[in-house]
Chain A
Amino acid sequence: METQKLTKLGFFQYDLKSNKFEASPEFYNIFDLPKNLRDSSLLDRFWKLIHPDDWGFVSRLFDQAIKSGKAFTIQHRVLADDGKSVRHVQLIGKAANFEAQTSVISGTYQDVTDIANMEFETKFILESMEIGTWQLDVENNKLTWDDSMYRLCCLNAEEFPDPLKAVSAIMPSVCKEKVFADVKASLKGVDDYHSTNEIITPNGLHKQLRSRGRVLKNESGQPQKVIGISWDCTKEKEMEAQLRAERAIAIHSSKLAALGEMSAGIAHEINNPLAIIAGNVHLLKTVDNDPIQFDAKIASIERAILRIEKIVSGLKKFSRSSGCTERKREQLDQIISEVLTLVETKAKSHNTSITTEVSPGIELFCNEVELEQVFLNLINNAIDAVKDLDQKWVKLKAFKNSHNYIIQIIDSGKGISEEAASKIFQPFYTTKPVGDGTGLGLSISKGILDQHNAKIFINHQMANTCFEVWFPVPEETESQHVS
């Protein structure tokens, strides 16, 4: 009895032949019926409580149950005595047949008002947020959409009663294939279904629809259905694109600032070999009858040209537009070598030595130009940080631990205060004199590294200032190393 009360579950039994209607106390409570009512008076009162709009389908389902003798479930509304308040109840019943005729209908009634209200609220919230819900019956390959899904796709449910046909009508075939592939993958795997696809509505509107779904499995672990939600993320995608473009501009501006800082040194690096070329060309006229001298001059010119080529090629690569986000497998030592070409004049002018200890064979899946910028920012900062110290050095170390490639940029400074460390990756934070730094270098570097799933932080355990960049080692590489 107590269980019935707690679960708001009431039992009833109706004998069609004798017109006898019996019910448990909780049944009376659910429908707020006087306890003295029995049989036909109870039945009459009970029917009157059913919401007038639900009479039709409740009667139909009862008739069907009586005829079929099968178990049935109905959810309907009931009115309170005041005729206004509405509660929701759920009936699970079965008609029992004797001698090929249904004689008894019995079942349970449960007050599901709270659940129904919650469903209503959820539906209201989803509709307000323009979120559609859907369900895919895996066994029967049947897709069900709610009204919001049709609204999202600007389609009419009467015109497209089968949502699978609706999908075909609005989704380009490439996207459709991707959706089916994503669904298949989530049915096989353990992950939820995640997908973003383009649709073209009947009035020609291009929309980006983002969907999340979860696979529900039966007791034997077989996928039974996928339930999910979809929403229009067109504006979100547009904002993402805008953010990407703004980030590219910020990166490019920061690059130009870095180039500006290095321009004096770069000019020196180019003008020196140019002076060698000019001088040798002048002297070539005087040694044209001395083949050994002549060849020596030509060799000197060639060396000078190679030097200029190297610096110009480094600059060309570095100055490339940041719009390109292509990532490839790149050798870390190559990236560091390119960066060193750019910073060595600055280091030289600040009398700062730069040494490297890079384990060979470290390969990163990255955008080379973006990573060059990160290391250039870090090394430039390190050179600036030690310029007033007696000991001026910068060390670059790169090695692998169990799960990460670790790149350390250590300088002869004595570390960074906790306060500065807490703000150092924030935009516009700088300890450099006004006009010397934009305060964007480290925040942009962090942004680039975040995009690469890499981490950057200050290692406070070291005696000297040490910035560490951690790149996760790809799993395949880890397993290769293990084997």
Chain B
Amino acid sequence: MSLKVFYLDDEPDLLQLFMETFQTDQIQISTFDNPDYAISEAKTNPPDVFFIDYRLPLITGDKVAGKVPSSIYKVLVTGDLNLNLNYSFDQIVEKPFKILLIQNTLKDLLAKKLAKLGPEK
């Protein structure tokens, strides 16, 4: 039983850091630098939580969010100021992000997922 996490960003160093920092036995992270591929994966194999960068090649994060299943918990990760978003995200995390904040988000979501499934047998 684990939390399935996607992270889409065009910064390879950030993808690597995200993976190294938050990957645990209970948190399985997949990273993407290609928006089309991430959208396709999210449709066929939806994650529990999808971290999406705002400024991406040829598309913005809010447009990506609009193209993936609404059931996914979506977190916008952005270094921008005063965004005019066309999508209502579940959470917005500002860059440079606080590691503890993301860890807490992931823990909460994992706890909720576990609670939803009931006690393990």
A residues sitting closer than 8 Å to B (CB atoms) are 263-265, 267-272, 274-280, 282-283, 300, 303-304, 345, 348-349, 351
Chain B residues contacting A277 (CB-CB under 8 Å) are: 96
Which of B57, B82, B95, B99 sits near A348, CB closer than 8 Å? B57
Chain A's closest residue to B54 (CB) is A268
- Identify 22 residue pairs between A and B in the complex whose beta-carbon atoms are under 8 Å apart, listed by A's number: A264-B82, A264-B83, A265-B80, A267-B79, A268-B54, A268-B78, A268-B79, A269-B79, A270-B79, A271-B78, A271-B80, A272-B14, A275-B17, A276-B14, A278-B96, A279-B21, A279-B99, A280-B17, A283-B20, A300-B13, A349-B60, A351-B59
- Choose among B14, B17, B82 the residue with the greatest number of A CB atoms under 10 Å from its CB: B17
Q: How far is the CB of A404 from chain B (nearest CB, A)?
A: 36
B residues sitting closer than 8 Å to A (CB atoms) are 11, 13-14, 16-18, 20-21, 54-55, 57-60, 78-83, 94-97, 99
Q: How far is the CB of A354 from chain B (nearest CB, A)?
A: 13
Q: Is the interface of A mostly helix, strand, loop or mixed?
A: helix
Chain B residues contacting A283 (CB-CB under 8 Å) are: 17, 20-21
Q: Is the Cβ of A275 less than 8 Å from the Cβ of B57?
A: no
Top 6 nearest A-B pairs (CB, nearest first) are A271-B79, A279-B17, A275-B96, A274-B96, A271-B95, A268-B79
Bound form: Cα–Cα A300–B12 in Å:
10
Bound form: Cα–Cα A264–B59 in Å:
16
Q: Is the Cβ of A279 less than 8 Å from the Cβ of B14?
A: yes
Q: How far is the CB of A392 from chain B (nearest CB, A)?
A: 9
Q: Is the Cβ of B14 less than 8 Å from the Cβ of A264?
A: no
Chain A's closest residue to B58 (CB) is A351
Bound form: Cα–Cα A267–B58 in Å:
19
Bound form: Cα–Cα A351–B14 in Å:
21
Chain B residues contacting A304 (CB-CB under 8 Å) are: 13
Bound form: Cα–Cα A363–B14 in Å:
39
Chain B residues contacting A303 (CB-CB under 8 Å) are: 13
Bound form: Cα–Cα A263–B97 in Å:
19
Q: Is the Cβ of B80 less than 8 Å from the Cβ of A275?
A: no
Q: How far is the CB of B78 from chain A (nearest CB, A)?
A: 7
Known: A282-B99, A351-B58, A351-B59. A276 touches B11 (CB 8 A): yes
Known: A272-B11, A279-B99, A351-B58. A267 touches B81 (CB 8 A): yes
